[in-house]
Amino acid sequence: MMRESVLAVWNHCERVLDTLFGGTLNPLRHLGALAFLFFWLLALSGIYLYAVLDTSVAGAYRSIDDLSRNQWWLGGLLRSLHRYAADAFVTVTVLHLVREWLLGHFRGFRRYSWFTGVPLLLFAYICGIGGFWLKWDQIGQFSATATAELLDWLPIFNSPFTRNFLSNEAVTDRLFSLFVFVHIGASLLLLFLAWFHVQRISHAEMLPSKPLAIGAAVTLLLLALFAPVLSQAPADLSVAQGALTIDWLLLFIHPLMYATSAGWTWALSMGALLLLFLLPFTVRAARPPVAQVDPDNCSGCRHCFDDCPYAAITMLPHPDGTPGKELALVHEELCASCGICAGACPSSTPFRSTERLTTGIDMPQAPIDALRRQLQACLATLQGERKIIVFGCDCGARVKAMEAADVAAFSLLCTGMLPPSFIEYALRSGATGVVVTGCRESGCEFRLGNRWTAERLQGKRKPWLRARVPRERLQVVWADRGDEKSLQTALGVLRELPLSLGTGVIRRRRRGA
């Protein structure tokens, strides 16, 4: 119940931002891409900071503090940018994790991404905490000693780690080299894990759209310019620390330890990680049928391989032995059962003269042949001068609610499952208009369904909608559950079109075909 309530609030926030900025610029729909953007900002600014850092205990504070006071126009700006990018990276990473949990994206074919994504959060905090040690001011001293107390609770050291912070003389250059190793080493491990995280995601969004990326970067630069990050007083283990201003996003674990205990802090943090790892096993759902390949109809065109959102299809030599000919192979454990591959297959065209439409790749629970038969039957039973066909998906707006005497609706596994030729087929078979709908822009449940559909309809991706099809008789609406009013608006537009508009184009070319 709590998850459903939080999801409702999240969806409301996404819709508000969609209204303000559109799906392409909505940051809540591109959290993973924003995390990569902030990571690269961290890496680029970090390279400069490391180049000027004096990696000795005596010189570390001075080398970093001088950037803000004597070189604010470059070094100080990059230092502040580095800090704000770290906060932004952790924020969007946590939000990305929360969003995937709310949407249930942690089970089935998405388990791999979940299991490789959870450790990223741990390494992000290790990197962030280690970064505070390097500037070696009062907050860096507080973080380092608090971390040492936390580690000493574990029975892994022969001598207490806190002995390294008993006095100023105890903090050596060798220990400071360890700080550098932790910060940079954890960053490299973070990048390595991020590479694993996207391995089973085709066409992964590694960066947000250019306007969103520029907007995010400019926001951080403005923060760095008008609220520069400055060092606190230099670290001094000989005096008791007073009140400190800490970064609660990155250093919350230290106050948590002092408010409870080291044991409780380990129990809470490790328990949270364990819970996240076990989450995919708490929900058992029936495995939907996966895509199936028909070797007799697969031409090895690679369209399904190129369009699969989760790298579930590979190409193998065709068993008939023809040199250079390939056959698609579906990996069941990776298949999302979305049907996008069926929409990409050239053999899925309804214009084939075979009585039973057998395609190169198809979904057993929703074959393309059944869609053609249902379309033919509905067109024969629709009443009135205007006959409108609506193609939608199970995850978007409820298209079945649009059905009327003059409207027939088909809800597909994903809009990307729709071969564009079905639009032309419907218009040739008596429909006066077609509506294509699916999840909101950048919000496809299977990532790429509405993107591939839009490109196919625009003639940018095969199989595309042929230019002879009158576009004025086609309405494309991206709508989620609750946005059915926008579909009604599209139906109203098609109902107002003159009956003769555009139909002659199809008929003349059909006679000349």
Instruction: For residue 198, give the CATH number of its domain.
Output: 1.20.810.10
Q: List, for residues 102-133, the tens digit of each pLDDT value.
A: 999 998 899 999 999 999 999 999 999 999 99
Amino acid at 197: H
Per-residue confidence (pLDDT) for residue 321, from 0 to 100? 80
Q: List, for residues 378-388, the tens digit of each pLDDT value.
A: 999 999 889 99
Q: List, for residues 255-288, the tens digit of each pLDDT value.
A: 999 999 999 999 999 999 999 999 999 887 788 9
83 belongs to a structural domain: yes
According to DSSP, the β-strands at 433-438 and 388-393 are parallel
**pTM of this prediction?**
0.92
Q: pLDDT above 90 covers what percent of the chain?
A: 84
What is the number of helices (H) and of strands (E) in the chain?
18, 8
Same domain membership, residue 407 and residue 357:
yes
> Other C-beta atoms within 10 Å of 288: how many?
15
Please choose, from the candidates 356, 331, 357, 333, the residue with its C-alpha nearest in 3D space to the C-alpha of residue 345: 357
Let me know: does 255 contact 146? Beta carbons within 8 Å.
no
Same domain membership, residue 119 and residue 266:
yes
Same domain membership, residue 306 and residue 251:
no
Q: Taking residues 361-378, what's their average pLDDT?
A: 97
Map residue 313 onto helix, strand or coil: strand
CB within 8 Å of 270: residues ≥ 6 apart: none
Same domain membership, residue 217 and residue 340:
no
Same domain membership, residue 164 and residue 59:
yes
17 belongs to a structural domain: no
Same domain membership, residue 323 and residue 192:
no
Task: Give me the half-sphere count of Cα atoms (radius 13 Å) on the Cβ side of residue 15.
Answer: 13
Q: List, for residues 321-366, the tens digit of each pLDDT value.
A: 888 889 999 999 999 999 999 999 999 999 998 889 999 999 999 9
- Please check the confidence at residue 395 and state whether its pLDDT lies above 80: yes
Bridge partners (DSSP) listed for residue 475:
435
Same domain membership, residue 124 and residue 258:
yes
Dist. CA 98–CA 287, nearest whole Å = 24
Please choose, from the candidates 72, 60, 277, 91, the residue with its C-alpha nearest in 3D space to the C-alpha of residue 183: 60
According to DSSP, the β-strands at 313-317 and 292-293 are unpaired
DSSP annotation of 137: B
Let me know: does 200 contact 112? Beta carbons within 8 Å.
yes
Dist. CA 324–CA 80, nearest whole Å = 56
Q: Taking residues 177-196, what's their average pLDDT?
A: 94
Token pair of 64 as six digits: 């970093």
Please report, for residues 322, 388, 389, the alpha-carbon distance to residue 430 in angstroms, rounded to integers and kept in the order given.
42, 9, 10
489 belongs to a structural domain: yes
383: exposed, middle or buried (C-beta count within 10 Å: 0-12, 13-18, 19+)?
exposed
Per-residue confidence (pLDDT) for residue 511, from 0 to 100? 41
Same domain membership, residue 347 and residue 261:
no
Q: Taking residues 426-434, what's their average pLDDT?
A: 95
Q: List, for residues 74-106, the tens digit of each pLDDT value.
A: 999 999 999 999 999 999 999 999 999 999 999
Name the more confident of 2 and 493. Answer: 493
Provide the domain count of the chain. 2
Map residue 329 onto helix, strand or coil: strand
Residue-number span of the structural domain to which 409 is assigned = 292-512
